[in-house]
Chain A
Amino acid sequence: MSPETLLTCIVFLPAVWAIPLVLFDAKAKEAMRYWGVLGTALTFALTLQLLMQFDSNKSGMQFKFDTPWIANWNVFFSLGVDGISLPLVVLTGFVCLLSMLASWSIEKNFKGYLMLFLILETGMMGVFLSLDFFLFYVFWEVMLLPMYFLIGIWGGPRREYAAIKFFLYTLAGSVLMLIAMLMFYFNSDRSFDLLELARIAGGTSAGKSHVYGMSMQVAAFIMLFIGFAIKLPSFPFHTWLPDAHVEAPTPISMILAGVLLKMGGYGIIRIAFPLCPYGAQYAAYFLAALGVFSIIYGAFAAMAQTDFKRLVAYSSVSHMGYVLLGIAVWKIVDGKTVGREYWEMGLNAAMFQMIAHGISSTGMFFMVGVLYDRVHHRDINKFGGIAQLMPHYAGLAAVIFFAGLGLPGLCGFVGEVFSVLACWNFSPLLAIVAASGVILTAGYILWTMQRVYLGPEYKGPHPEALVEMNSRELAIGYTLVATAILFGVLPHLLFDPMHGSIQALTQSLASSYETLYGAIHTSQLP
C-alpha cells in the first residue's frame, strides 16, 4: 500500500466503518460488537503497517503529502508522520482496540455508541497525523462532539454536568488556538503549513526573511499553551478531568486517559514550541514549575480521594506533570542552549511518559471498570479482600498499578526518571521537588492497593458478583501487562524511532533561538 493511501486509510477507515452500522438491526448487538472490534483491529493493523514502513534512521517527516482542500485560503489536506507522532498513532490504534473490547458492558443504544466511538477514533488519528494547522484544528474539534455525547449519554449519574464541563473547557481552549492560528496565518503570508510555519519561526524558510516578532510569539504561545494545557491537563486547567473521567463509561475513560490527554503534550511539542521558540523559552521556567506543581498537586489530590476512579483521574494529572516538565527543561544562557542533550533527554522522557501513561492509565481505568461492572460502586473504603476472591485479577491489577507507580522494570519508571534527570541540568530545586513526587505516588498507590485488594474480606455490596475475570477481560489485562513489561525492560524499542526526530527538533529550536537572540540584540525585531 502506498504511504499516502495508508495514512488516509488510518484516518478515515474508522469513520467510514461507522457508515454501514446504519443498516444493522438495533437488536443485533453481538454482530455490531464484532463489527466494531473488526474496524478498530483493522485500524490498529494499519498503524502497525505504518510502523513497519517507517524508517527510524531518518529524522524528518516521512510520507508527507499535500492535497489542496480550501484553495482560496491555502488550506491543504496534508498528512505525514515522524518519530514524534508515530508512537502516538500506534498507541491510539492500540488503546482504541482494547477499549472497544472493553465495551461489552454498554447496553443502551449500542449502535449510536459505536458510531460515535469510531468517529472519535478518526478525530484522534487526524490530530496526530495532520501537518496543516487548519486541518489539525478541524480534527481537534471533531473529537469534541462524539466525546460530549459519549460522556453525556452513556456516563454515570452526573454525566450531563461532566459532559458540558468537558465541552466548555475544550471549546474555550480551541477559540484561543483559533486566534493564535490566525496570527501565524497572517504573519506568514497566508500559510497553514506547520512545517513551513516552524521554518519561518527559525528564520530558515526559503523566501521569507522575517521571523515572528517577540510580543507576537509570547502572545501566541500563551494562547496555544492554554489550549493544550487544558487537554494535558495541567494545573489550573485540570478541573474538568476528574468529572469527565468519573462520569464517563469505562472504555471512554480508557480513551480519555490513554489518548486524549496525550494530545495536549503532542500539541505543545508539535505546535507551541516549534512555532514560537521565543515564547516557549520565555515561559520555560514557568512551564517546568507548573509541571512540578502538577506532579505534587495531583499526587496529594489523589491521596485524598475515596472514589477509585477519581483517584486514578488525579493520578493522571500527576503523571502528565512529568510530560510538561520533560518538555520544558530548555536551558538558555546568553542566547545559547546549554546542555542540549539533557533537554533532548527531557523531550524523550516526555514522549516516553506519554506512551507509558497511555498504557498504565488505560490499564488502571480498565481494572477499576472490571470491579465496577461487578459491584456497581467505586468507594475505596468499601473494598478490601479482592485478592482472595479474584486472585488472577488482583495479580494483573498489581502489575498495572506498579507500572503507574513507576517501579523499575515497568514502563512508568523510564519516563519519570529521565524527566527528573533532565531537570537537574535545568534547575536542581525543581528536580528535587519532582523526585519527591515519586514518594507521594508510591504512597497513594500502595495505600490504595492495600485498601482495595488486600485485607481479610470484602464487606461492601454485591459480594456474590465478585467472580474472576472472563477470557475477554483477561485478554485485555494480559495485553496491557505485557506491553507495560515490554517497554519497561526494553525502552529502546520506543526511543529508537523517536530519537532522530527529537534530536532534529531540539537542534532547530536551539538554532532558531540563537538567530532570534541575535536579531533582538541588534534590535531588528519589534
Chain B
Amino acid sequence: MDFEALFKQFLSGDVAQQASILRSLTIFLPELVLSCSIVLMLVARLVSLDRIIPTHWFALLGGMASFVIVLFQFWEFGNSQTVPVEVFTGLAIHDEFSIFFRGFLTFFLVFVIALTVLTGIPDDEDAPDFYSLLCGAVIGMMLMSSANHLLMLFIGIEMASVPSYAMTGFLKGKRRSSEAALKFVVYGAGAAGVMLFGISLLTGILGTAQFSELAPRFQAVFASHAGMQDPATRCVALALLMIAVGFAFKLSLVPFHFWCPDAFHGAPAEVGGFLSVGSKAAAFALLVRLTTSLAGDGSGALSQLSLSCGLGLGLIAIVTTTFGNLAAYSQQNIKRMLAYSTIAHAGYMLMAVSALLVLQSVQTDLVFQGNHQENGPRAMEGLLYYLCVYLFMNLGAFAIVALIRNQTYSEEIDDYKGLAQQVPVLAICMAICMFSLVGIPPLGGFYGKAFIFASVYEATNVHWFMWVVLAAGGLNTVISLFYYLRVAKTMCMDTRPADAVPVSMAASSSPALYVMLVSGMVVFLGIIIDPLSKVALHAAHALF
C-alpha cells in the first residue's frame, strides 16, 4: 500500500462497520484528553507552573472534560442512527457498552481526584506523579472496556495494572506500603505471563485474535471434534483456564486473591478505593465482552463451551464470596476488612456473568416462558447496576476511612468506637455504606443484588447447579451482615473511650459534604431506580 492509499484510508476509509483512522481518533478523544492532561501535568512541573496552579486542577479538569465528551458520545448514540463501529482497524469497539464503562470510569476518576484533594494524600511535590499514574491507569481501564482484540485485552490490563502497582507503593516511607506494592507486582507479573500464554494458545488454535471472529472460528474448528479426548479441545480448555487466571487476578477471585488484602492494607485508603472499584469495573467489562463473544449465539459446540464456562465461573463465584465473607469476619483493620469485602462482592458480581453464560447456552424458547431474548441483557443490567452502586458505596467507605485516618492516624476498627458522638455525619454515612454493602433496601446495594439473584434464578431453568449458586448468594448475604454491622455498631453504639484521639468535622465542611454526596447517591439509587436501570439495560443490549 503506497502512501496515498494510506492517507485516503486515514481520511475516509470507512470499511463496513469499521471507522476510518480519523473517525477512530475522534472516538478516542476522551482518552486523548486524559493523555494530554498527563503531559500537561508533567510539563507544568518542568516549568514550575505547578507552584501557581495546583496540579490537581489539571487532573480534575482533564477528567471532567473526558467525562463530558463521553456523555456527548452517549447522547450522539441515543439521538442519531449511529451504529456500533470497530475502531483502529478492529482493535477496539465503540458501542453503548464501552461508552457506559468509559463514562463510568471517567466519572469515577473525577470523584477519586476530588477525594484526594480533600484528604491531601499526594503532597504538592508528588502530585504530578500521583495524578499521572491515576489518569494513566484510567486510560488503561478505558481501553480494557472497549477492547475488541486479544492483544488489546492484554495491553489494556497491563496499562491499568502497572500504574496501580506504583500507586500501591506510593507511601514511600512506609515499609508496609512497599511490601504491598512488591507483592502486588510479583503476583501481577506472574498472572500476566500466564494470561499471555493462554492468549497465544487460543490465538494459535483459532487463528484469530479478533473478538467477533472467535465464536465462528470456534464453531468451525470444533464442528468435527468431540469430547475432552481431543487434543485441540484440551488445548482450548487450557488456554481459557490460563486467561481466566489473568482475570481472576484482576478481579481478586479465589484462589488468586492473596495480593488483595495486603495491597489494600499497605496502600493509602484513597488508592484502595480506586483499585476496588475502577479495576474491578474494567475487568468485568472485559470479562463480559470476551465471554459473550466466545459464547456467540450459543449454537452447536458453542452451547457446551458457554455452559461449562458459566458453571465454572459460578463455582468460582461461590468459593470467592464465601471465602471473602468468612475472612472479613475476623479482620481488625478496616482496610483489610474492606479488601475482603471487595473479594466477596467480586463473587456476587461474577454470579451475574455466570448466569449470563448459562442463559446464553440455550437457544430455544422451550425452557422459558416469555421472552427469552431478554434474559442475557437482564443479567447484564443487574451487573451494571451493581457496579454503579458499588462505585458510591465502596468509595464512600474508603473516603470515610481516609478522612478518619487523617485525624486519628489509625485504621483499626476498635479506634472507631463511638465516633457517632463526635462526628455524626461520618458515622451515619458509614452506616449507610455498610448497610448498602450488605444489601438492605431501600439502599442501592439491594437492587443490584436482587437483579443479579433474579437472573441466577432464571438460569436455574437451564442447569440445577445454579440453585447452589443462588443458595450460596443468599446465605452469604446473611453471613456478611456480621462484619458490616460490626463497623456500624462500633461507630454508633459504643461509647468513645476517654483517651481516644478526638475527631471533629463540621457538617458543612467540604469533606463532610463530599461524604454526604456519595452516600446520598447510595440512598438515591435505592429510591429512584428507573433511569439508571434503563441506561444499564440499553448499554447491555449492545452486547447481544
* Chain A contact residues, CB within 8 Å of chain B: 68-73, 112, 137-138, 141-142, 144-145, 148-149, 152-153, 159-160, 163-164, 167-168, 171-172, 175-176, 178-179, 182-183, 185-187, 189-190
Contacts and interface: CB of A to CB of B under 8 A. Distances in A.
Contact of B457 (A137, A153, A168, A186): A186
- Determine the interface band of chain B, counting residues with CB < 8 A from chain A: 20 to 34
A11 to B, nearest CB: 13
B458 A160 contact: no
Given A69-B530, A153-B493, A171 B454 contact: no
Nearest to B473: A175
B457 A171 contact: no
B338 interface: no
B36 interface: no
Interface in B439-495: 440-442, 446-447, 450-451, 453-454, 457-458, 470, 474-475, 477-478, 481-482, 485, 489, 492-493
Given A68-B530, A189-B369, A167 B485 contact: yes
17 contacts: A72-B534, A138-B442, A141-B446, A152-B493, A153-B492, A153-B493, A167-B481, A168-B482, A171-B440, A171-B477, A171-B478, A172-B478, A175-B478, A176-B474, A178-B450, A182-B457, A186-B454
Contact of B441 (A68, A138, A148, A152): A138
Q: What are the nearest 8 A-B pairs in CB distance? A: A138-B441, A175-B474, A182-B457, A141-B441, A70-B529, A189-B370, A72-B533, A152-B493
Given A70-B530, A73-B451, A138-B441, A178 B492 contact: no
Contacts of A152: 489, 492-493
A148 B442 CA distance: 15
B184 interface: no
Contacts of B159: none
Main secondary structure of the interface of B (DSSP, over half): helix
Contacts of A69: 529-530
Contacts of A138: 441-442, 446
B383 interface: no
Contacts of B442: 138, 141-142
A176 B438 CA distance: 15
Given A70-B530, A72-B534, A168-B481, A149 B492 contact: yes
B111 interface: no
B348 to A, nearest CB: 13
Given A172-B478, A175-B478, 13 more contacts: A71-B534, A72-B381, A73-B451, A152-B492, A160-B489, A168-B481, A171-B481, A175-B474, A175-B477, A178-B474, A179-B453, A185-B454, A189-B370
B457 A183 contact: yes
B367 to A, nearest CB: 11
Contacts of A142: 441-442
B108 interface: no
Contact of A141 (B440, B475, B489, B530): B440
A182 B492 CA distance: 34
B451 A164 contact: no
Contacts of B478: 168, 171-172, 175
Contacts of B424: 112
A152 B494 CA distance: 10
A316 B379 CA distance: 44
Interface string B405-423: 0000000000000000000
Contacts of A137: 441
A177 to B, nearest CB: 10
Interface string B236-253: 000000000000000000
A424 to B, nearest CB: 40
B441 A182 contact: no
Contacts of B493: 149, 152-153, 159-160
Contacts of B482: 164, 168
B457 A179 contact: yes
Contacts of B534: 71-72
Contacts of B537: 72
A171 B475 CA distance: 10
A142 B451 CA distance: 18
Contacts of A168: 478, 481-482
B421 to A, nearest CB: 8
Given A70-B533, A190-B370, A179 B485 contact: no
A164 B485 contact: yes
A71 B528 CA distance: 11
B478 to A, nearest CB: 5
A115 B447 CA distance: 24
Nearest to B457: A182
B435 interface: yes
Interface in B278-336: none
Contacts of B450: 178
Given A70-B530, A72-B533, A178 B453 contact: yes
Contacts of B370: 189-190
A190 B442 CA distance: 21
A178 B482 CA distance: 20
Nearest to B438: A171
Contacts of B438: 171
B420 to A, nearest CB: 8
Nearest to B447: A70
Nearest to A70: B529
A511 to B, nearest CB: 24
B458 to A, nearest CB: 6
Contacts of B530: 68-72
B108 to A, nearest CB: 24
Contact of B474 (A141, A153, A179): A179
A303 to B, nearest CB: 34
Contacts of A172: 478
Contacts of A187: 369
Interface string B521-544: 000000001100110010000000
Contact of B440 (A145, A149, A163): A145
A73 B534 CA distance: 10
A72 B453 CA distance: 16
A167 B488 CA distance: 13
Contacts of A72: 381, 530, 533-534, 537
A145 B435 contact: yes
Nearest to A111: B424
A187 B474 CA distance: 20
A186 B481 contact: no
A176 B482 CA distance: 18
Interface in B78-122: none
Nearest to A179: B474
A69 B529 CA distance: 8
Contacts of A176: 474
Q: Most chain-A CB neighbours within 10 Å: which of B435, B441, B447, B454? A: B441
Contacts of B441: 137-138, 141-142
Contacts of B435: 145
A182 B454 contact: yes
A153 B477 CA distance: 24
Contacts of A183: 457
A225 to B, nearest CB: 17
A2 B457 CA distance: 40
Contacts of B489: 152, 160, 163-164
Contacts of A145: 435, 440
B36 to A, nearest CB: 38
A73 B447 CA distance: 11
A182 B441 CA distance: 16
Contacts of B492: 149, 152-153
A182 B533 contact: no
A178 B451 CA distance: 11
A186 B440 CA distance: 22
Nearest to A123: B442
Nearest to B458: A186
A227 B492 CA distance: 28
Nearest to B481: A171
B146 to A, nearest CB: 25
Nearest to A68: B530
Contacts of B470: 179
